[in-house]
Every structure is written in structure tokens, then in C-alpha cells.
Amino acid sequence: MTTTPSPDRNGAVQPEATTRDVYDAGLAVRRQVLGADHVDRANAAMDGFTADFQDMITRIAWGGIWTRPGLGRQMRSAVTITAMVAHGHWDELAMHVRAALGNGLTRDEIKEILLQTAIYCGVPAANTAFKTAQAVFAVLDAGQDAGPHPTTPKD
């Protein structure tokens, strides 16, 4: 694959990353943030139907966004947690609460993020988010590896 040079923020010309470079960078960050076991399980479950989706999220979400220098991983985790709450993606929230801890957020910081979401995303969503985070913390405190997301408790 040929690359086309483009100026960076300082005006220096740098070659564009190849699709493979972006994928490899995304896979590395995905493994660091979500854990190698999670990524290995996702890849093992991949088939002809899901392969394009796994490739897309690795390249675009992880290689194109999570590798950008504009935000640190803690901030990206905070934003991601908020988005998961806003859209009611509880299994993904559990996975990203675990990831946020690995990215250096504390439980108290996660609590503050969830309190913030109560105002902007609604109290019912924050209520479920707190229960989801509690379930993650309980699994971690018990020393269990529940994979990417323990079962979210229901009301």
C-alpha cells in the first residue's frame, strides 16, 4: 500500500499510516484498555458474520480514536462511561468501568462521573449505572475474573 504524505500539527510532512498500521495500533490499545483476555475472547468468537465488525471497531474506535493524542485515557474513559449511560448500554458500561479502573480512574472518580450522568442523562439511567458499577466492583473485590462484563443486577 502506498502512503500519501500529510503535514502534522507542526507543519512537518509525515507519511499517512497504512490501514494495517492503524489496525495494529488499535489492537494494541484495545488489548491494553480492555485486557488481553477480553480481546482474545472476542477474536475467538469472531466468524464470517462478525469479522468485518471486529475489524471496524479495532481500526476506527481503537486505532482511529483511542490512539489520538488529544485526550488521555482517563478522559476517554470518562466520556465513554457517560455515553454508555446515556444510551443504556449496560454490558458495555460494565466493561468500560473495568477499563476505566485500569486506565487510572478511581472508584470515587467513577462515582462522580455517574453522579454527573444523573443530571444530564437522567436518574433512572444513573440508578442502573450505579448498580452496574457495584456489580463490577463486587466481582473485582471477590478476586473473580468475570470476563468483560458481569451480569448487571436488575431492579
- Put simply, whether the predicted model's pTM sits higher than 0.95 gets the answer no
CB of 29 closer than 8 Å to CB of 67: yes
Tens of pLDDT along 110-122?
Answer: 999 999 999 999 9
Tens of pLDDT along 79-110?
Answer: 999 999 999 999 999 999 999 999 999 999 99
Number of H helices, E strands in the chain: 7, 2
Rounded CA separation 30/56 (Å): 12
Identify the architecture of domain 72-155 in CATH.
Answer: Up-down Bundle (1.20)
Rounded CA separation 68/65 (Å): 5
Whats the size of the chain, residue-wise? 155
Residue 5: which H helix or E strand, with range? strand 5-7
| Domain residue spans of the chain | 17-68, 72-155
